[in-house]
Structure 1
């Protein structure tokens, strides 16, 4: 399967009379885009704003971030979510690099937060200050959507409409560049398993076990997760890595540390591609979910390990998780089953500080054979954000004190784009 990303480097975004890209500048017809999104009768209106690098601007109530992309030559954008479940992961896809669609959830004072412990203003993106420098999305030209639910639309219906509005906008903007010559081209080409090791027989065969969904939270009915359908109880299965890049998977409403933007630019998959044929042979991806019962986690761990060993023929696997406690335990159990089959493992994860776990450990497992663990950071690092001049999103009264535009004390866990469960971060760890 061969996927070509035709990349247009966007230097600026502004509102204009038509949606088009000229000399690296993306013009957006705001009224046209709003009318397009309001075709979904679950929405009464859609606020569309820009948050640009260096602005003293804060985006609040963030639920997801998506890179604008569109298939060329009749391909399907976000299959199953925006249309029929068509084939993705091959052909040409137009990418507007340097831009992002940011979803900001409309909230009223009586609404429940995404997570019980979440601050009033939800997930935050700053375009300047320390968070603007640390976070990936402080460097992108962001098109922020604040869709408002229509009267009588319940929370679950609204959350589905919110996500679809983001996917539609990403494809709408991506189509503006379909006929333009790309500034850069990236090619991802991985042949069928019967051909993949040719000429690489001496290299270690490495697979990736990607835990992309967790059952620690109740799923949102109708949410388009895998090719447009629910995926909370699926058995481990093999997915071509290009499908991850190209819209086959969409993050759930309660996603911890993974955005659609991160899936489209999956750092670990990109690194495996980069090293393929050099010091390893990348044999494929097994996708799995974290279950909320012991028997189901055992089943998933056994099946994922068997697929990696007996179908992909892996000598080693990389594993990541998609949430907190239950996903971490499920990932460790899968790694243990791999080690029992002679498949060496390396885990990459965000983890708890010792003050929350107790003792000297920062992880929730103790498996002697699982001894190669890469830290992706801890989300419980405190950070103080300076005041800003503009706030985008629903600003609610803050019982904890302060205002959305004022100085804000929070932790990295409640920011977007700083830490990632799949390695997409600018931060590094230093020993001193």
Structure 2
């Protein structure tokens, strides 16, 4: 499979009479864009707000992030979600780089939502402070979700995907400034020179624990709770096959933008044929019951062995109960002779003194920590809030609270906040571009 991603660099975004792209400027016809958003009758209010790097803006509650794209063949950017089901990962897709569409709650947040600061101390905690963001700020009539902690916000999230597809169409008739090519030969058709290199497989564990469907990550529009571990071509993941879910505490979340731009996949591509033989991606799952976890690990082990993997990178979306899946899979790979490196965050408590993962094993002896979800973050007020700041404390966001006997409320009267890293939108960046480093005290 050969995927070409034609890139257009977005330096700024403005509103105007037509939705166009010219010389680094994306112009949006807001009225037309909102018509795309309001195709879902459940959306009762909606607006678009631009948030640029360095601006005194705080965005919360953020539910999802998507890179605007357009498929040259005219088919859906997100098959099974924004259009009919068909395979992706082959052909050419156009991408607006340096920007994203953010789905933001106008009045209500939920457990899996997070916060982005576009400047100051908070900006360093999330990748999205570096992008020019089109914030879709919306509300819905989904009353059944109002007081349910694990809110889906289906209408807002899927409207953001439609919006990203609409914005991507601005470049449909243009030639890209640069083209990234991702071309991976079938495993059985590779040269002897490549086959002599260490063979590496990437094992991804997207969130799929919720048995009540609609909260989990999606695979071609299919709830990942239904799936067993399967081999996927890395191009599929880069080209819209994976959609982020709403369940995960936010710093642990993999947004759709993260799937579209997965740094670990891109780095494995860079090393393919040089230092490694990149075999592809085993897309696994996360489960609740022990037997389910063992079954998934068994499947991952079998696929890795069948491919002849010498080594694996194992990435977990989440923490707590999913740690058991992570370690079970880690051990199964090691027992099969597949040397494994894990990537995950930790939950070590606000003081950093607790056990980092719920379960551990001596065989899991090479783990990259991407941060402590419980670490406290204190941030000053911002000039403008996009969304509703009160949601951080009121609506059960995983890192905020209404009151704390020592720290008081998350949201202070002057607009400053204290929260756990848990609420930083995609803050731990387990898929490979975390800037965090370890410190010893």
TM-score by length of 1: 0.91
Structure 1: distance between partners of 2:311 and 2:64: 32
User: After superposition, where does 1:290-309 map in structure 2 within 5 Å?
Assistant: 290-309=286-305
CA positional deviation for 1:251: 1.0
User: After superposition, where does 1:334-413 map in structure 2 within 5 Å?
Assistant: 334-353=329-348, 361-396=355-390, 399-400=402-403, 401=409, 402=411, 406-413=415-422
Q: Give the aligned partner of residue 114 of structure 1.
A: 111
Question: Is residue 125 of structure 2 the alignment partner of residue 128 of structure 1?
Answer: no
Deviates more, 1:86-95 or 1:398-407: 398-407
Q: Give the aligned partner of residue 34 of structure 2.
A: 34
**Equivalent position SS for 1:104:** strand
Q: Give the aligned partner of residue 118 of structure 1.
A: none
Structure 1: distance between partners of 2:378 and 2:294: 41
Structure 2: distance between partners of 1:388 and 1:370: 42
Deviates more, 1:219-228 or 1:299-308: 219-228
CA positional deviation for 1:77: 1.1
User: After superposition, where does 1:84-163 map in structure 2 within 5 Å?
Assistant: 84-108=84-108, 113-114=110-111, 123-150=114-141, 159-163=153-157
Q: 2:58–2:116: 8 Å Cα contact kept in structure 1? A: yes
1:36–1:280: structure 2 CA closer, same or farther, 3 Å change rule? same
Deviates more, 1:417-426 or 1:344-353: 417-426
Deviates more, 1:181-190 or 1:395-404: 395-404
Q: 1:207–1:285: 8 Å Cα contact kept in structure 2? A: yes
Question: Is residue 64 of structure 2 the alignment partner of residue 71 of structure 1?
Answer: no
1:219–1:263: structure 2 CA closer, same or farther, 3 Å change rule? farther
1:404–1:34: structure 2 CA closer, same or farther, 3 Å change rule? farther
Number of equivalent positions: 420
Structure 2: distance between partners of 1:244 and 1:150: 32
Structure 2: distance between partners of 1:224 and 1:381: 26
Q: 1:391–1:404: 8 Å Cα contact kept in structure 2? A: no
Q: 2:320–2:357: 8 Å Cα contact kept in structure 1? A: no
1:341–1:376: structure 2 CA closer, same or farther, 3 Å change rule? same
Deviates more, 1:55-64 or 1:218-227: 218-227
Q: 2:230–2:283: 8 Å Cα contact kept in structure 1? A: yes
Q: Give the aligned partner of residue 226 of structure 1.
A: 219
CA positional deviation for 1:8: 0.5
Structure 2: distance between partners of 1:270 and 1:76: 23
**Equivalent position SS for 1:273:** helix
Q: Give the aligned partner of residue 165 of structure 1.
A: 159
Structure 2: distance between partners of 1:338 and 1:349: 17
**Equivalent position SS for 1:55:** coil
CA positional deviation for 1:403: 5.0
Q: Give the aligned partner of residue 398 of structure 2.
A: none
Structure 2: distance between partners of 1:152 and 1:381: 33
Structure 1: distance between partners of 2:203 and 2:309: 11
Structure 2: distance between partners of 1:370 and 1:151: 43
Q: Deviations over 1:383-418 (max 9, x none)?
A: 221211111113437544445872111222211143
CA positional deviation for 1:221: 3.5
- Give ranges in structure 1 of 5+ residues lacking alignment: 116-121
